[in-house]
Amino acid sequence: MADVFDDSRLDDSAALTLADHVLRPLAEAGARVRREVGEAAQAIEEAVAGTTDDSRPRAVVAAGPDSRLLRAVLEPWCPVPFVAWPGPSLPGWAGGLDLVVVLAPVGSDTGSASAVAEAVRRGCRVVVACPPGSLVAAHAAGRDSTVLPCPSGDQLATAVVMLQFLSRLDLGPETDTESVAQALDEVAVACSPYRDLAVNPAKMLAIALGDATPLVWGGSVLAARAGRRVAEAIRRASGRTALAGDAEHLLPVVAAAEVQDMFADPFDDDGEGTRPPALVILDDGAESAGIQEQRKRLTAAAGEHRVRVETVASDASTDVARYAALLATGSYAAAYLGVGLGRA
């Protein structure tokens, strides 16, 4: 028999203590954002001071595996062409007129190091957010290179540092660091392990997913990005399948769901193939007609096939803060799923 979810563990102090190594970093996320931005402030000031009014780049290239998050924030706003290039190289046209930015929160990624080294070799202006002294930082050594120190290894905090820098150059929207940190703090309070599951949104979501296969959907570009990260967190925490995708990718899975027999013995066969899907909607308040139409199709299909629908919403004040809140809530739910399965 496969692993069985036990919701009593979610309020069991011993089980939660064993999961402290997972839950504590989630609780400290807001503090990390504040600390990273504070530690990188001087480097940002020096980098901005080294630019002139006529030094706007021809294009901005976000290189490395975390480039898609920057694209989700900047692509609708950036006044020059913006390209996300997640591989270990650069577009063939990138050169001395272009700005290459890289997020490397861990700093040991060889692909990011390769992209940085190539950017330096081609004479691009290079700005890297990474731990000082790391492999990526070493490859960033060059006349027109800047390292924004981000020692914590936190992907979101590193992204906020880079967004702060790009905002100062008028290449991105204004990024309110405190709004992001505050959104993370609020999620930490709402989803605290010390908060009873009856009023804890992350524990309630974990219970809803305890015997289901999560299908995670976010309508906006940032919500979709958060959905992919939440699905990754669920897979790591539970060892089970979790899917994230656009509506057209998830609709066939919802439509193929078999109506569950309410009288069936849940312990008779709890194999992976028997877990019904559960649709998780990440709602960041985006209200475009296309997003609303996709959501309506998904929820209608879920209702027709009796697929459970769970909604995670955020009303934080900025796009990045709402992304942070959705990701944090989903990450807490993934952690509690692991606790309920006895995997923490």
Architecture of domain 30-176: 3-Layer(aba) Sandwich (3.40)
pLDDT range class, residue 1, cuts 50, 70, 90: very low
pLDDT of 156-199, one tens digit each? 999 999 999 999 999 999 989 999 999 999 999 999 999 999 99
Res 111 pLDDT > 80? yes
- Specify the CATH architecture of the domain 7-19+193-340: 3-Layer(aba) Sandwich (3.40)
Domains 7-19+193-340 and 30-176 share a fold: yes
Contact 145, 126 (CB under 8 A): yes
Q: Does residue 6 sit in helix, strand or coil?
A: coil
Residue 71 has pLDDT above 60, yes or no: yes
> What percent of the chain is helix, strand and coil (3-state, nearest 5)?
50, 15, 35
The tens digit of pLDDT for each residue in 225-244 reads 999 999 999 999 999 999 99
CA distance 83 to 220: 19
Band (274; pLDDT cuts 50, 70, 90): confident
Spans of all domains in the chain: 7-19+193-340, 30-176
**pLDDT (0 to 100) of residue 33:** 98
Sign of CA dihedral 296, 213, 260, 210: negative
Distance between CA 193 and CA 201 in Å, rounded? 11
pTM: 0.93
Spatial separation of the C-alpha atoms in residues 166 and 188, rounded to whole Å: 28
When mean pLDDT is compared across 74-88, 98-112, 199-213, 250-264, the lowest value belongs to 250-264
